[in-house]
Amino acid sequence: MPDDHKEIERAALNSLTRLERRLWGAAVRTQIGTKGSRFWRNYDHLGPVGAAKLVVGRYWLGPAALMVILIYVVVALSGQNDPTPAVVFLVTLSVLFAMVGLLRAVGAARAGRAFREER
């Protein structure tokens, strides 16, 4: 871990949206404070901004997976009722969460490229 820990934390958290800081700010701080975490494994290659975006992108994929599981639960519990509206809603949420996660991963790659060019 580099010595300028607070500056790295500030840069990483400033790269996140307000919603992401509210949802996962504490988890990102924990990753920054833990030696050997996913943040630090990607830090040398992506920099603080890219590593934070990659970590948050993976956090966005968690709710997407949960929505896919909920789709199966809704269909299984629907019985004779038509589960289509609920399934469409859950599929939409799942795709939305997955797209945000993938876009954050693309943002991490771009930030990493910029970080390597600065060095």
- DSSP-based three-state secondary structure for 29: helix
Structural tokens at position 103? 């876009």
**Domain of 79, in residue numbers:** 5-118
Structural tokens at position 44? 């040398």
pLDDT confidence bin for 2, thresholds 50/70/90: low
Q: 40-63 pLDDT, tens per residue?
A: 999 999 999 999 999 999 999 999
Domain count, the chain: 1
pLDDT score for 3: 64
pLDDT confidence bin for 1, thresholds 50/70/90: low
pTM above 0.85, yes or no: yes
Nearest to 114, CA basis, from 43, 44, 50, 42: 50
CB 22 within 8 A of CB 59: no
pLDDT score for 82: 84
Q: What's the count of helices (H) and strands (E) in the chain, helices before strands? A: 4, 0
Q: 79-116 pLDDT, tens per residue?
A: 778 888 888 999 999 999 999 999 999 999 999 999 99
